[in-house]
Amino acid sequence: MSARFNPVAVRGEISGFSRAASGHCYFSLKDDTGQLRCAMFRRAADQLQFAPRDGLLVEVRGKLDVYGARGDLQLIVENMQPAGQGALFEQFLRLKAQLEAEGLFEEARKRPLPPQPRSIAVVTSLGAAALRDVITALKRRVPHIPVTIFPAAVQGAQAPAELVLALQAAYRRHVDSNEGDVLLLVRGGGSLEDLWAFNDPALVRTIAAAPMPVVCGVGHETDFTLADFVADLRAPTPTAAAELCAPAREQRLAELTHLHEQLCDATYRSIDQRGQRLDRLSQRLGRPSGRVHDSQQQLARLQHALQRSGSLMLQRQHNRLQVLEGRLPQALQRSMEAQRQRLQRGQSSLALLDPKLVLQRGYAFLTDERGTALTSAVQARAGQALRATLSDGALDVRVEGAPLVIEKP
């Protein structure tokens, strides 16, 4: 129901008005044919410019809802004004129905925001407080992401045309230079008249043609414009719009630290496994002197047996002994050589894992002033002092300019 009928506008006479201790207001709107229960929550009631009272004829706008406890239909009022100021809102509803019929507000055409934008485009007035709020939020959360501002008037007769031109300039920059992974369209709060530029049909159609996701942060939480309905995402305030497209820097750094720890653990495990393999190979090789001693004992036993045999048997054993004595050194030499080669191969495999070999090929290991390793250019900042560890020593270096991030293909 809320997606099909909301927002709605109602004109009627206030009846049974009351304000609870929580600041929420409850009343009914009635005319000659019926009445409608209404609720106005504190944040909307605090923005009223007059004091509501029974018998006062007013025009309200808000959202239809069903009160679950009783199953009654009620209107959640987001704005109230004395009767006679609703013609502009009626025009708003007509424009909304017209653009909705064109399919511009369909949820299926909404796109998700990039999880980690490389750059952000902002369309707003240079003198707007909304711009200061957005820049402050972005500097706090993602100071490393570049922001491009496309200025335009956000109020007055010239505002719709200027907003369209600013959006088109941002689109061209995105297509030509791949800048602006997400676009923020922002403005502070105001009356329906103040925000009317963001209900312009040409502006709405231009937003729908955006090549990148668009976040609309126009007005306060209770303000709605047609730009909100066509944007990929609506934010209740300009600051919220900036926060929605800017993941906190601390969160990303924590993720990088976790990945670095996992990589170090995997490297150490591989080195330990190679070391254990080398130990096993060394044990299998054994000591050559032990094998020579065993062979000598066997030779002594054979000589003793020959002495107890007859001359013929002695001669046969003597001949056999000579053959064995001739083969024994060669066999031992071949065995020792094979074991030595296996040991060298194991030592070579282990040496390839030595980090110093990487440094000897011209690479350097960078750490910041706390000794934390830098694995990405975005971790460095201009003017930061770093230490570069080379194969034969270390150098103290300083970052001269902003980090240059090389995009992966």
Q: Is the pLDDT of residue 363 over 80?
A: yes
- In this model, does residue 384 exceed pLDDT 50? yes
Q: At how many degrees (to 10) do helices 288-308 and 311-352 cross?
A: 170
162-196 residue pLDDT tens: 999 999 999 999 999 999 999 999 999 887 788 99
159-177 vs 201-208: helix axis angle to the nearest 10?
Answer: 10
Mean pLDDT of the chain: 85
CA dihedral 223, 227, 233, 234 (to 10 degrees): -10
- CA dihedral of residues 98, 100, 105, 109 (deg, nearest 10): -110
Strand partners, 369: none
Within a 10 A sphere around the Cβ of 119, how many other Cβ atoms? 16
Which residues share a beta bridge with 395?
388
Q: Is the pLDDT of residue 291 over 90?
A: no
pLDDT, one tens digit per residue, over 263-277 is: 887 888 888 788 778
pLDDT of 325 over the 90 cut:
no
Strand intervals (E) in 294-374: 365-367
| CATH topology for the 109-247 domain | Rossmann fold (3.40.50)
Contact 209, 149 (CB under 8 A): no
Q: Is the entire prediction scored with pTM above 0.85?
A: no
3 state SS of 394: strand
CA gap 86, 19 in Å, rounded: 24
pLDDT digits (tens, 9 = 90+) for 211-266: 999 999 998 877 789 999 999 999 999 999 999 988 766 666 677 787 887 888 78
- Is the separation of the CB atoms in 399 and 377 below 8 Å? no
Exposed / middle / buried, residue 126 (Cβ in 10 Å: 0-12, 13-18, 19+): exposed
Helix (H, G, I), strand (E, B) or coil at 221: coil
User: Cα separations (Å) of 332 from 36, 289, 381?
Assistant: 106, 10, 64
- Looking at the predicted structure, is the pLDDT value of residue 409 above 70? no
Per-residue pLDDT at 4 exceeds 60? no
Domain layout of the chain by residue ranges? 2-85, 109-247, 250-289+335-353, 360-398
Name residues whose C-beta falls within 8 Å of residue 310's C-beta, 6 or more positions apart in sequence. none
Asked if 119 contacts 250 with a C-beta cutoff of 8 angstroms, the reply is: no
Contacts of 85 (CB under 8 A, 6+ apart): 59
Supply the pLDDT for residue 268.
Answer: 80
Given the candidates 2.50.20.10, 3.20.20.80, 3.30.465.10, 2.40.50.140, the CATH classification of the domain at 2-85 is 2.40.50.140
The token pair at 30 is 């009635």
**Percentage of residues of the chain with pLDDT beyond 70:** 89
366 beta partners: 388
